[in-house]
């Protein structure tokens, strides 16, 4: 299985290297391990994220592409869907997800992502929670369509494009970061100033 996954990952890496989508770069951190990738996502044009370069990490399971990778940003993000702040889910932020295991964490991730439509969210630790990264099949909570979730025909390229779209189109109706959503609605200039400050940080300025 790992051999099949390695072949698939190498094929995707070669495709991304030869014809990368605009604003996206991605590939293995080391040639010795195809299962850990680094990615750079440029801030979408026409948004306050424009000009920024946001690094992320993807970790692939040994049965890829039957199962999706895990992705997390490794830089600060200020976004209405930026991180979970609901007190009922505070255990997620305190590193207690292990108490309920991967299944429990995936259940909450799926429920939240359904509430946020397709915008997705980014946990405080940087982990990206978006439909395309959820296990294939029907959502037991009925928040997502099966077609929105992961399937073996998806790819790293589609994941990164979906995340870029999430940055460009915040969903403030069911925000993960209430402060950012309120600022986005009521004090747009301050919101954009905050985002641009993170853009500068992402560039080391």
Active-site residue list: 129
- For residue 141, the tally of other CB atoms under 10 A from its CB is 11
Q: Compute the Cα dihedral for 84, 89, 91, 97 and give only its sign.
A: negative
* 71 phi, psi to nearest 5 deg: -130, 140
Q: Say how far apart CA 178 and CA 183 lie, in whole Å.
A: 8
CB 129, CB 149: distance < 8 Å: no
Other Cβ atoms less than 10 A from the Cβ of 145: the count is 12
Exposed/middle/buried for 124, CB within 10 Å: 0-12, 13-18, 19+?
A: middle
Structure tokens at 126: 């940087």
Joined tokens for residue 152:
């073996």
The structure tokens listed for 84 are: 């979970």
Shortest CA distance to 7 belongs to which of 47, 62, 57, 46? 62
């Amino acid at each position: 299985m790992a051999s099949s996954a390695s072949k698939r990952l190498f094929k995707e890496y070669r495709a991304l290297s030869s014809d990368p989508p605009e604003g996206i770069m991605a590939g293995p951190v080391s040639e010795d391990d195809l299962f850990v990738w680094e990615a750079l996502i440029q801030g979408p044009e026409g948004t306050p994220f424009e000009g920024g370069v946001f690094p992320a990490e993807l970790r692939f399971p040994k049965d890829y592409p039957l199962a999706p990778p895990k992705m997390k940003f490794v830089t600060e993000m200020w976004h209405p869907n930026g991180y979970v702040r609901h007190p009922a889910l505070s255990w997620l932020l305190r590193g207690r997800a292990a108490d309920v295991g991967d299944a429990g964490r995936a259940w909450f991730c799926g429920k939240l992502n359904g509430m946020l439509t397709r915008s997705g969210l980014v946990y405080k630790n940087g982990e990206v929670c978006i439909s395309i990264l959820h296990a294939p099949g029907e959502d037991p909570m009925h928040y997502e369509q099966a077609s929105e979730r992961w399937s073996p025909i998806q790819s790293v390229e589609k994941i990164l494009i979906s995340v870029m779209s999430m940055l460009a189109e915040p969903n403030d109706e069911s925000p993960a970061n209430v402060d950012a959503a309120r600022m986005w609605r009521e004090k747009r200039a301050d919101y954009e100033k905050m985002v641009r400050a993170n853009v500068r940080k992402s560039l080391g300025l």
